[in-house]
Amino acid sequence: MHWDGFTTMERDVRAVVGDPRWTLLPPVTRAHTLAQRALVTPDGARWLFGAHARWYRLDRVDGRWHLSAPPAHPAVRAAARPSPPGVAIPPVLIPTGPDFAYDRGSTQGFVGPDVPHEITERLRALLLAHRGLRREDFPLDGSVYQQVFARDVASTVAAVWGTIMWCAYAPAFDGNEVMLSMFGEFLARPLPGDDWVRWLPMGSLDALVGLYAERMRSGAGEAGLRLAGLMAETATVLRADPRFRPRADALIAMAEPLLGSPWLDQHAMPSGAVRQAWLARCPPHLVPATLPEWAPGEHFRHTLYDLVEALGYTAARGMDPRAVAASLLAADVAGVCGVSEPAWAAPGSSYTAQVVTALYPWMDDELRQALYLALAEPAHPLRGCWPAGGELPPGLIPPDRETAAALLGSAYATGLAWCALTGTPAPSEGFAVCSAVVKCLIHQRDDPRPQEAADRRRPDLDESGSWLFETSNSDISSLPPL
């Protein structure tokens, strides 16, 4: 039987951590157990399958373990061998047990595979039931959603929208997505994007919780609890789609307890720590879904890991998915920040250098080097991975629709993550890599045929406003986190 060290050790660690006795072992025993299952590859790199059921690579430069997707090439995986004794395992890398139970859902984007009709119809019903409530009872004043929605829109509509945006793994949606179209009559401005895709910013838990907290602090407790219940109900609908499920489950766990215990957040109201109170209610096995809220660096690491996995198909074509991912990251950084040649690499010499310097601590030495080379040397082979003429190079074109959708979702999530980590505004027209991937999907879209669209159309919500899809960058440049 063919030996694959990474598959073998991952299976072994999962079995050990899945044993009920794992949590009863003293920390030193658990660390020793993991150390016995570390791997070393022919290049001398050491690997460990640890916390969050993911792989880590020991950085030979800084001596730290970095979250890092494992090599995909069969020859490298087959040559991996158990690491010699003496590997120190930091406590943060030791699985707790619940972290291995986390359901990561799907990294696919919402272009190509549209949101299923059953979900959009249930969301439509929620909007119909809550759109007509009095603005006086559910105001948007003081909320970031005041810039997104028209003046006469109640915060119940914003609660449904905000839940969708927060639960989405990567909020890049097909331009004709029914779920977005049903909000057309409520929006105050066009959504960012182009003819094919709405490139939306990552959802904000602060903004979402703020709708509820404002009502509670104003003495309108019943309205506040209704908003929290609506968020939980919307998340319950969304979780049927694996692209929403992880964060939907986390939001349900944070909001739903209020319906039975409305006093839960009273202690946090005076200090404005309601968001922290919600995050504290998130159970251990769902905490990874909230990483963007409290650990942007770790969130970037995980999205980059997803991107490497989405590029796994390139290994069969003789490429290294890890190096390709670093090159595509470089292409997006250069596209957003520009490249100042030849002195960009000197710390502080350009905005690009500042961004890259901020990303370096969250990458292992191999990925850092690939990122540096792709940015600093125009003639380097890694530049061959960059989109040209708005299209992916032939060697990177995904083999099928599902792979292309996963690449789109992970690339967009990675783009939003590094922008959030470095304080860089995300481009309203999308990242270069994502835009190129879309071209692999636009001829395989899920839009219903004309007759199906006519059959499904409902007169209760206006979805015909073409202004929704008429993008004006001047209108949306200040669109806040949703």
In tens, the pLDDT along 457-482 reads 444 665 544 434 443 343 434 455 66
Q: What is the pTM of this model?
A: 0.90
pLDDT of residue 252: 98
Q: Which residues pair with 197 in a beta bridge?
A: 174
Q: What mean pLDDT, rounded, does the chain reach?
A: 89
pLDDT digits (tens, 9 = 90+) for 324-378: 999 999 999 999 987 644 334 444 447 788 899 999 999 999 999 999 999 999 9
CA distance 250 to 232: 10
Check residue 112 and give its pLDDT. 83
**pLDDT of the residue at 464:** 43
Least confident window among 61-75, 112-126, 463-477 = 463-477
pLDDT tens digit sequence for 253-280: 999 999 999 999 999 999 999 999 999 9
Mean pLDDT, rounded, for 156-173 = 97
Residue 63: the pLDDT is 87
Contacts of 415 (CB under 8 A, 6+ apart): 332, 426, 431, 433, 434
Q: How many CB atoms lie within 10 A of CB 326?
A: 27
**Whole-number pLDDT of residue 352:** 84
